[in-house]
Amino acid sequence: MTHINHTTHQTICATCGTQYPVGKPLPELCPICDDERQYIGDNGQTWTSLATLAKDRAIRFSQIRDGLYDLRITPAFAIGQRAFLILSESGNVLWDCLPFLDEPTIAFIRSVGGLNAIVISHPHYYSLMAEWAKVFDCPVYIHQNDAVWVQNPTPAVTFWTGERNELWDGMAIINTGGHFPGSCVLIQPDASGKTNLLTGDTIYVARSRRLVTFMYSYPNLIPLPKKAIEQIRDRLDGVSFDCIYGAFEGMVIPANGRAVFDASIQRYLSIFE
């Protein structure tokens, strides 16, 4: 069985959590952070290692509904997103990824059947995907449109093309674009008969939880043009969903997600009228 190697190599960007290959020179600035959608940390570009993180970090997992867990690094590190573990009859899925992994998390995920695939919404959450894929011996699904953003290539990465990728047990990845050209969401029918929409920050749950929004950059507050909002609308045309789960703790539209999404699209498009 593959275990995690908490290496002392400083290969993880401390601001966004992206891991770079061991044994290759690091870029002067992390391209993910140097992009308009992110930022370089206040102290300039800094790097850290898995060994350093392992000193005081752990992953907390909590069950949020039957067959769905959220996983968070505690104390928070880098962007601070959560990942979701979906338990499914024909194979479990990790939606998005975290820039850390430890033995208790590996043991827990193995105890519930391991992972069949890792599916990532967009480049801000590529994080430690190569290590996770190695440990769980599974592919990582990334949309081809974002291939240029992969910093730590691994044979596990499976680029997919098109607008929709059917997985199994009714799960499907939908490429909406917007935040990134390859930005995706995942639809997931659950045991209660409801359909969950997992969105990363492709669709961002607003603080009021009465709206969702769509941005080119969240930290730098750069909106998207009209045609991007129309594309997101069109890619989800005819797709039903109830509950929307965003990338951060507390980001949930617990019911009527489809109506909230429709109203939010309308609200956004009204700005351009």
Backbone angles phi, psi at 61, to 5 degrees: -115, 135
Cβ proximity to Zn ion: between 15 and 88 the closer is 15
Smallest gap from Cβ 107 to Zn ion, in A, equals 29
Q: Is the dihedral of CA 217, 218, 220, 225 positive or negative?
A: positive
Smallest gap from Cβ 90 to Zn ion, in A, equals 29
Smallest gap from Cβ 185 to Zn ion, in A, equals 13
Cβ proximity to Zn ion: between 134 and 179 the closer is 179
Cβ proximity to Zn ion: between 71 and 184 the closer is 184
- Give the footprint of Zn ion on this chain (CB under 5 A): 13, 15-16, 18, 30, 32-33, 124, 201
**Which token pair is 157?**
């990465």
Cβ proximity to Zn ion: between 201 and 242 the closer is 201
Cβ proximity to Zn ion: between 131 and 201 the closer is 201
Smallest gap from Cβ 153 to Zn ion, in A, equals 17
Q: Own/partner pairs for 35-41, CB < 8 Å, 24+ apart?
A: 36/216, 36/217, 36/220, 36/222, 37/124, 37/179, 37/180, 37/216, 37/217, 37/218, 37/219, 37/220, 37/222, 38/124, 38/217, 38/219, 38/220, 39/15, 39/219, 39/220, 40/15, 41/14, 41/15
Q: Which residue in the block uniquely carries the two structure tokens 């969702």?
A: 212
Cβ proximity to Zn ion: between 15 and 105 the closer is 15
Smallest gap from Cβ 65 to Zn ion, in A, equals 24
Smallest gap from Cβ 69 to Zn ion, in A, equals 22
Q: Residues 228, 215: contact at Cβ < 8 Å? A: no
Smallest gap from Cβ 210 to Zn ion, in A, equals 22
**7 half-sphere exposure, CB direction, 13 A CA radius:** 12
CB burial string 29-44: b at 16+ within 10 A, e below: ebbbbebebbeeeeee
Cβ proximity to Zn ion: between 32 and 173 the closer is 32
CB burial string 157-189: b at 16+ within 10 A, e below: bbebeeeebebeeebbbbbbbbbbebbbbbbbb
Q: Which residue in the block uniquely carries the two structure tokens 């930022």?
A: 39
